[in-house]
Each structure stands twice: as C-alpha cells, then as structure tokens.
Structure 1
Amino acid sequence: MKTATETVPFRNLSLVPAQDATDDIRLSATRSLQSGMAAMRELTAAFEGDLGEAFERAVLTIVQAKGRVIVCGVGKSGHIGRKLSATLASTGTHAFFVHPTEASHGDLGMIAPDDVIIALSWSGETAELGDVVSFSRRFSIPLIAITSKPDSTLGRAADVLLALPRVRESCPYDLAPTSSTLIQLALGDALAVALIEKRGFTSAGFKVLHPGGKLAARLKNVQQLMHDGSEVPLVRDDTVMSEALIVIASRRYGCCGVTDADGRLVGIVTDGDLRRHMGPALLNTPVRDVMTADPIIVEPDLLASSALGLMNRKRITALFVTSERRPVGILHIHDLLRAGVA
C-alpha cells in the first residue's frame, strides 16, 4: 500500500506547455522528421550491399512458396508485422499475422509446412519468438528474419536475413522505437510492392480484394456506371434540330449523340453547339450542320477514375461509351460523383 509521500513519477510532470514553448515543439517535430529521413537514407544505402541481395531472395522465397506468409512479431515490431500482413493480403499474397505468445499456446497449428514465416524483432532476441523459430526449424519452414542484429538468435536461425541498419531513434533518449519502426515499415512496404510487380498483380485484383470504400469506387469501370439502352440520347445525322432538342431535353444529360446510317457515332450536340448556331433557322437545320464531329469517347472497360480524369482534362461533363465506334452508353460526371469516384 502506498504511503502519503509516494507518488507516481509522471504525475508531477506539467502537461501544459508554456506559451513561449511553441518554437521548441516545432523544433522537436523537425528533429524527429529529420531523424526519420536519415534512417530512411541509411536503409536505402543498405540495399547497395547485402540487404539488396537478401531482399531478392526473400521475394523469390515467397513467390515460390505453395502456402501462405505467416508474419510474427511482438511489441512495436508486432504492430508493424500486422500492417505488413494486411498489406500483403490486400495485394495478392495470402498472408496473416500470428502472435508469438498465442503460437506457444496452440496457434502453431495455424502454420503449415508449405508456408513462409516472416519474423520481426529489432534486437533479434525476442524471447516470445523462440517457439515459432524452433517450429520453423523442426518442420523446415522457410524463415525470413527482419532484424538489426545479424548475429542474434533470430538472425542466425533465419534462411533469409534482412538485416536493417542500426539507426538512432528520433526519441531524445534513443529508446522509444521510432526511426527503427519507420524503416521496418518501409522495408515491409517495399517487400509488398516487389511482390505486386513480381506476381503481376493488377488493378482488377485490387477490385476483387477491395469491394468496399473509396478504392472500390475508383476501381469500377465505365460499364458499371454508364446509362445504356433507351436512356442514351441519340439522333441520326439527318435529323432536324427541333427533334434533337426534344431528345436533349428528355434525357437530361445536356447533349445528344449523332449517328450515321451504319449506327456509328459521328458527332455530338452540346449546349455550346447550340449557342454557336443560335438563330431563326436553327430549328430546321440538320443536326450534321450543328454537331461537333468526332466527339471524345471511351470504351466500356475503362476505369471510372480514368474517365473522371479525362472529363477534368477536357472540361466536359458527359462521355459517350462506344464499342467499335457504336454507342453503347453514356456516362455523366454526376454518375462518377454519386459512386464516390472523385
């Protein structure tokens, strides 16, 4: 039981900075960022040596494995490991995180002989990883180690050693994992990106694995969002403008497409065309004399995000969708905004 004189150490610390401490706070942030950038430069330089060769072997080991990638780590390395496993899983590499402590109490059964284990430990001496390392050796499961100490227990046991440079933490006491976790995270992301490229993982794969949220909207294609059938405003090139105006007004896209006798899209009539040809004779003028020829078109399989980019560059609000130059739909910028593409 505490006596009246006992205090918890941090309770006497002032949590409210003085007004004149603002500059010190900003300098602290700047020093932290500079420390992180210095650590990243050291990591990049390490790829010119043994790390680069080991990284290649790690990627090939994962690609050639018939099973999954099992990621393990404790503490801050564990948090980085969870992020790594999630990134791998979302980019075409079957992966999941196994906590080393839980592994010692039955979760080793989640690891199969065809799997690959990635173990993260800055010191390489994390006691909780012992059973996972022993299990990998006993059943000849490839072990990839991410550590800063090649001569550690983990480093010596690994089949592939990704040795991180010994960087100084941005913590003023060189204690709290900061710069070290940053380069662990960066190396994990580099591993995931290399696997994306090695496997040929495409945006179509992203679409399958990311069915929800804004990313899913960006990965939709034009065909999924366009209007088709009777909703597409179309007139023949010999139609008079009085009839074309009725079509434009009834469809509410602010335009209509113009087709030739073979059904190919040859032009578009927009409000700009109407302004340029406004006059007493407009209503009886053939559409071919008013339209803008060779309008901007897109294919049905174009990504919705690419269609939005095209609209922004060309400063237009609608696109006709064609297949072999024949109109199959129309896409309005409001369709993209409603779908969350922007």
Structure 2
Amino acid sequence: MLIGTLLLGLLADFRYSADLVWCGRPSAILWEDQLFASVSGRIDGPVGGLFRGGFVPERRGVPSPLSHSTQMVAHRTNLSKLELRDGRLLFFSTGHRFFYIVPLAELPGLEDSDFGTLIARARGYRNSSALLDYYGGELTSLLFPDHRKPDVFPPPFEDLVSLNPSELELGYRVGRYVNRARSDLQIAGEKTVRMFHAHDGKLFVSIEKDYLRAWHYDKRNKEIKNPPSAPDRQLRTGQLPAGFTGYFAVYTVGGRDYMVTSDGKVYMATLKGKSEMDVKVLWDDPKQKVAGVVQDQDNNAVYGWGYAGKDGSSDRFYLKFDPKPAPVRYALTVSLWRNITDAYLESYECARAFRKNKNK
C-alpha cells in the first residue's frame, strides 16, 4: 500500500512538471512564413535541437517541423536562447560554455537526416557535426581573453585559494568558473557578440570578438592568417536587484534589454549615463511564470508565454515585452505531442495567439 502511494505521488509530480520537463524553456523566432524553435531538452534526458516549419496560423493544427541537430545539451539549466540577425542564427543553452552562430544558408546541412549529412558533405564538411563545430565558439575566450584583463578574476574553490595562483591552478579555476558562468550572448556584428555577464550582484555588458572557429581556421583545419582584431568593448556595468541569482537569456526591443530568467521572471535593463546599466524587476508573478519566448521579427516584438491553468490544462498566457507588460490568456488549439518537439508546438500556438489578437 505504501509503495502504491509513493508511486502515485511520483506520477503526480511528473504530471505537474511534464510540460516543462519535455519542453524545456524554448526560444523561438517567427520570421516571415517560418517558425524556428530551439530547446535544450530535459536536464537529465534527451539532447535538444532546433525545429523549423512553415507558419500558417489560419490552418488548423500544427504541421510537424523539420529537426536540426544543434548539440543543445542542458547543463546548469534548460533555458534556451535563439537569435536571428543578418542572415545568421545564434543558438545557445544558458549555463553551457559552447555557443554557435550559423549562417542560414548552411542550415540544411544540419537537418537531422541522411539528406542533411549529404548537404554537409557537399559543402566541404565531414558531417553535420563538423559543420556545427566550424561555426562554434566557447565562453572561455570571451570571459578570459588573452588580450585584456578579465572583468572577474576566477574565484577560489576548495583548496585552490592562492592570491597568486600558478598557471595550473588558474586553469582549474577558470574552467570551473566558465562551467558555472551566468552569461548570455547576442549577435553584434559580423564577427562580434554583445555579452551579458552576471557575477556577485553585478552585470557586465560589452562587445566582444566572438572567437568562432570559422574566423581562425578553414574547413581543412588550417589556421587563417590575420584573424579578427578585438573591438571597442563599450563596457557598461550595473547592479542587479536582490534575488537575481539565476541564469538568464536577453532579448532587446526598442532599445531595452529584457532578461528572462530560468525561474520565470523578467527583468528590464536600460542604458544609464555613459557607462552604466539600470536593471529592475519587470515581471515576477509566481502563478504566471514565463516558460518560453517567441520573437516576432516582422513586427519587431518579443513575447513570453507560460502556463495559466491547472496542471494538464490547455490554458496559457502570453505577455508582450514592454515597460508595462499585460498578460493575455489563450488556450492551445491542439494536443501536446508529449515529446521534445512540444517546444515547437507551444511556440507555434503562442505565435498563433498573438498574431490573431494583433490582426483583430
């Protein structure tokens, strides 16, 4: 009897968290007639990926999307980040050290199929993974570059506490810090990113060289001469509100940066003076946490969505990211698939809802 009760309790816990478990915390982009959705998957489950399909809101149902391999492995959190700018896609799992900025023209080579492998090989890559690695970057180069002093000296841990650490100890401390770093990226220019880095109650925002492998090595792994030089950092700093301790993804609309956290809150950061950022809480409703984000590129708008009803219900809400967000209720028009592609389905239904309301 006791075992049966425990099993029922575990099943109840699973039902309560099923949506977030399967869906992760996805990031999506509505671009012309295409919807892209990136998901990091379950923290202890399947690897996430990128899903893409046509968006026809007037048509009933949600067509099955194409799956693309992106190696999005949930690390410290399953909060995903996706951005499209100047014909390139950035995808990143916050809390993870690796990120990718891939030209849209190369996206067919990442299709999770034999066709995708053939396309990758036809374009000079060994396989889809090699294509992805070619456009990959790593946070260590951004947080601890060779050409300048880092904003944060890697803190001590366990018995590694030296004030003047050896190269070996420093390497251990850097590696440990990067594996736990709270940071996010945006595409800034052809070879640069805008980095957000939070540490010990302080926010650092700067322009950095993206250090993509593509700028340093060719497809045959030969080193390229004269790699990109470091840009003007344009460093800004700001104090984070109390309680801002988790991982985050940043979306910029109308000159304001909206920071969506792994616990479902939204903060707004704005420029202050010549070198500061002002950060404040924008959305903190424990009953309506933001679970995912959809960017409407055609209308220069960003929306967060979340669960609004009891567990298992189809009730959802979305809110447009602006200085005075107001939740709007909607309901799913289709049943969840109960697998990782629910990230795409949820994003599609949110986009269908805000486009319907916008066109009224």
TM-score range, shorter chain: under 0.3
Higher relative contact order (CA 8 A, sep 6+): 2
If each structure's helix is expressed as a fraction of its own residues, which one has the higher value? 1
The structure with the greater share of residues assigned to strand is: 2
TM normalised by structure 1 equals 0.22
Q: Which has the larger radius of gyration?
A: 1
